[in-house]
Amino acid sequence: MKIGLFFGSFNPIHVGHLIIANTMATATDLEQVWFVVSPQNPFKKNKSLLHEFDRFDMVERAIADNARLKATDFEFHLTRPSYTIDTLIRLLEKYPQHEFRLIMGEDNLAQFPNWKNYEKILEYVGLYVYPRPNAAPHNFGNHPRVTFVAAPLLDISATFIRESLRNGRSIRYLVPEVVEEMIGRKKFFV
Ligand SMILES: Nc1ncnc2c1ncn2[C@@H]1O[C@H](COP(=O)(O)OP(=O)(O)OP(=O)(O)O)[C@@H](O)[C@H]1O
Ligand SMILES: O=C(O)c1ccc[n+]([C@@H]2O[C@H](COP(=O)([O-])O)[C@@H](O)[C@H]2O)c1
């Protein structure tokens, strides 16, 4: 099967992530998208980062009704911070029957050359990129291993959701109802 791996902190998962994953799973040659929840992004030092179990729980609830979307805690058992190439090598070993692509938002492309062994990521799996508003310029526009997926721009971020919660503003419709309910009940990000 051809599978898109959607790595992220998902702190928390929002409707932008869901639209991206569903677009990749239905409007491209990918048959499934797996959300790979990262315990610790090597580039992010975020004081408000929830425990990975809670972020994973929210992802699972958010995608429960979509058979093409799966969540995996694969990185929880690997060394930290979470370097994507290390995880990919393990995934390729574990699932030789599958073909993988790495899904990312365009904002990550400018920094991508600073990722550990980024050339190997391109060689082993290649990228499917979702456009993002205000993404910094990058040099991957014509790269043969990078596919740009045409889709609506989504000006929504986990940062905005966390700020909204801190300021007592509603996050209704920015996250699925089950995620809003869990954030409220557990008093996350306040
Ligand atoms: N609105 C969006 N448009 C395009 N890509 C997005 C969008 N939101 C998230 N992504 C992509 O989803 C992946 C996971 O992102 P992440 O969990 O960090 O969400 P985020 O909203 O960017 O979070 P934060 O605001 O905390 O940085 C990354 O590849 C990121 O580029
Ligand atoms: O491997 C790297 O060098 C690397 C550098 C920066 C980010 N990443 C990964 O990119 C993914 C997206 O991160 P985030 O926090 O923007 O959701 C997440 O899985 C990170 O671990 C990976």
Ligand 2, atom 11: closest residue by C-alpha: 8
Residue 17 has pLDDT above 90, yes or no: yes
Residue 46: the pLDDT is 78
pLDDT tens by residue, 138-166: 999 999 999 999 999 999 999 999 999 99
**What's the mean pLDDT in 43-59?**
93
Residues with CB under 6 A from ligand 2: 7-9, 38, 41-44, 82-85, 115-116
Residue 74 has pLDDT above 90, yes or no: yes
**What's the mean pLDDT in 166-173?**
98
Is 35 among the domain residues?
Answer: yes
Q: How many domains in the chain?
A: 1
pLDDT tens by residue, 96-127: 999 999 999 999 999 999 999 999 999 999 99
- Using DSSP's 3-state secondary structure scheme, residue 5 falls into strand
Q: If we measure between CA atoms, which residue out of 140, 137, 161 comes closest to residue 62?
A: 161
To test ligand 2's pocket by mutation, which of 9, 48, 72, 125 has the most ligand atoms within 8 angstroms of CB? 9
Percent of the chain with pLDDT over 70: 100
Which atom of ligand 2 is found nearest the CA of 41?
21
Residue 137: the pLDDT is 97
**DSSP conformation letters of 168-180:** T---BTTB-HHHH
Rounded-to-integer distance, Cα 188 and Cα 185, Å:
8
Give alpha helix (H) positions in the chain: 15-27, 52-63, 84-94, 118-124, 158-166, 177-186
pTM: 0.98
Residue 45: the pLDDT is 83
Residue 44 has pLDDT above 90, yes or no: no
Is 178 among the domain residues?
Answer: no
| Cβ–Cβ < 8 Å for 42, 78 | no
- Using DSSP's 3-state secondary structure scheme, residue 148 falls into strand
| Cβ–Cβ < 8 Å for 70, 26 | no
Q: If we measure between CA atoms, which residue out of 132, 133, 137, 115 comes closest to residue 124?
A: 115
How far away, in angstroms, is 174 Cα from ligand 2 center? Answer: 22
Is 81 among the domain residues?
Answer: yes
Which atom of ligand 2 is found nearest the CA of 40?
21
CATH assignment at residue 32 = 3.40.50.620
47 band by pLDDT with thresholds 50, 70 and 90: confident
Place of tokens 């557990």: 186
Residue 3: the pLDDT is 98
Residue 130: the pLDDT is 98
Residue 141: the pLDDT is 95
Is 162 among the domain residues?
Answer: no
Give the gyration radius of the chain's Cα atoms. 16
Residue 104 bridge partners (DSSP): 129
Q: Which residues contact 96 (CB under 8 A, 6 or more apart)?
A: none
Is 56 among the domain residues?
Answer: yes
Q: Which domain holds residue 65?
A: 2-156
